[in-house]
């Protein structure tokens, strides 16, 4: 008994130092989100400036970052079928379960977009810079795979489900979703980066330096923009929303989703699927990220309850500082 107590006492300071080191790494990322929120809430950043920040991140900085990661990642990692199978299965389970539990109370439209924020992590604006900082550039491959799944498959599925209440509205909605994906530069930057990796292309020196500078700006501006978008959604939302309509979804995103990915990944490995432990760690941490902030824009476009979705994103982002840090401490 005394030996056990002494062992525990020796282990406890190490655990405390580990948790502290993780918090020190994740703190700057969430601090930048808080800065954007406070600046917008206090009026320092005008609401009219937010679309400009969004445009810079979406059309310049993030595509350059994704291109560089794609070009520097072996093509085999970008086409990892094992990562695709595990992550897609978990996404479908999250969407299906959330819709099943909420559809009767709020209809297909709100249930579908609630399912989307439960299954779609903020990979682009938060996950790419944070996971690369935590795990290194080798994490970029699985991250890019999951981004493609969420932007193309999960989003299209939820938009399709959201139209089931409307007679004849499914196919037009899917066509609009497809057009939106074609206009989104991030999938194209991923594809170009993958082609560069496969073909061994290298950008000319001055062009590469320009792309590198824009990529370096992606992380801080994207995180600041998340906070600004969250503050704007709160200032513009005057609808009352019951806590039961958004808190469980936020908790499902932060807790159920990563646990599901961990369980499915471990089961797949036990059944012989050649999924590496490092890839599983990346997938679990991606699932532990808060809900994607761009879902609020889709919610407004398709007439769902934007106030509810905004609160899910806000609560999940606020709590993620603790829950995501805990996931990192357990997995890394």
In a domain, 221, yes or no: yes
Q: What's the CA angle centered on 210, arms 135 and 186, to 5 degrees?
A: 60
- Domains held by the chain: number: 1
DSSP letter at 59 equals I
In a domain, 115, yes or no: yes
Q: What's the CA angle centered on 32, arms 298 and 297, to 5 degrees?
A: 5
Mean pLDDT of the chain: 85
**What CATH code is carried by the domain that includes residue 130?**
1.20.1530.20
Q: Model confidence over 5-24: pLDDT tens digits? A: 444 344 445 556 666 777 78
Q: Give the domain range for residue 168.
A: 49-331
If pLDDT is split at 50, 70 and 90, which confidence band does 250 have? very high
In a domain, 110, yes or no: yes
In a domain, 143, yes or no: yes
User: Is residue 236 a contact partner of residue 266, using CB atoms and an 8 Å limit?
Assistant: no
Q: Model confidence over 142-181: pLDDT tens digits? A: 888 898 899 888 988 888 888 777 655 556 766 766 666 6
- pTM greater than 0.95: no
86, pLDDT greater than 50: yes
181, containing H or E segment: helix 170-183
Between these two residues, 130 and 1, which has the higher pLDDT value?
130
Q: What is the pLDDT of residue 7?
A: 40
Q: How far apart are CA 332 and CA 330, in angstroms?
A: 6
Q: How far apart are CA 15 and CA 136, in angstroms?
A: 22
Q: How far apart are CA 203 and CA 132, in angstroms?
A: 22
Q: What is the pLDDT of residue 1?
A: 42
In a domain, 20, yes or no: no
């Amino acid at each position: 008994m005394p030996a056990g107590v002494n062992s525990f006492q020796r282990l406890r300071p190490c655990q405390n130092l580990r948790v502290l080191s993780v918090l020190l790494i994740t703190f700057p990322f969430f601090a930048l989100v808080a800065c954007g929120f406070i600046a917008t809430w206090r009026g320092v950043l005008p609401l009219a400036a937010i679309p400009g920040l969004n445009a810079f991140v979406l059309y310049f900085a993030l595509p350059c970052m994704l291109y560089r990661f794609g070009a520097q990642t072996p093509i085999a990692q970008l086409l990892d079928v094992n990562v695709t199978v595990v992550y897609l299965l978990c996404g479908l389970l999250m969407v299906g379960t959330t819709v099943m539990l909420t559809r009767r109370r709020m209809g297909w439209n709100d249930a579908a977009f609630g399912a989307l924020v439960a299954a779609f992590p903020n990979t682009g604006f938060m996950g790419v810079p944070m996971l690369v900082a935590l795990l290194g550039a080798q994490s970029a491959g699985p991250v890019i795979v999951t981004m493609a799944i969420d932007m193309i498959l999960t989003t299209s599925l939820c938009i399709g489900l959201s139209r089931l209440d409307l007679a004849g509205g499914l196919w037009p909605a899917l066509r609009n979703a497809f057009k939106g994906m074609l206009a989104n530069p991030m999938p194209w930057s991923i594809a170009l980066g993958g082609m560069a990796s496969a073909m061994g292309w290298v950008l000319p020196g001055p062009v590469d330096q320009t792309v590198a500078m824009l990529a370096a700006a992606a992380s801080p501006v994207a995180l600041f923009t998340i906070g600004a978008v969250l503050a704007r959604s709160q200032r513009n939302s005057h609808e009352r929303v019951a806590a039961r309509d958004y808190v469980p979804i936020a908790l499902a995103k932060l807790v159920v989703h990563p646990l599901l990915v961990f369980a499915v990944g471990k089961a797949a490995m036990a059944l012989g699927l050649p999924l590496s432990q490092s890839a599983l760690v990346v997938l679990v941490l991606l699932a532990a990220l808060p809900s994607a902030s761009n879902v609020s824009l889709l919610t407004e476009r398709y007439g769902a309850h934007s106030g509810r979705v905004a609160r899910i994103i806000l609560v999940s982002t606020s709590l993620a500082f603790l829950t995501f840090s805990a996931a990192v401490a357990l997995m890394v």
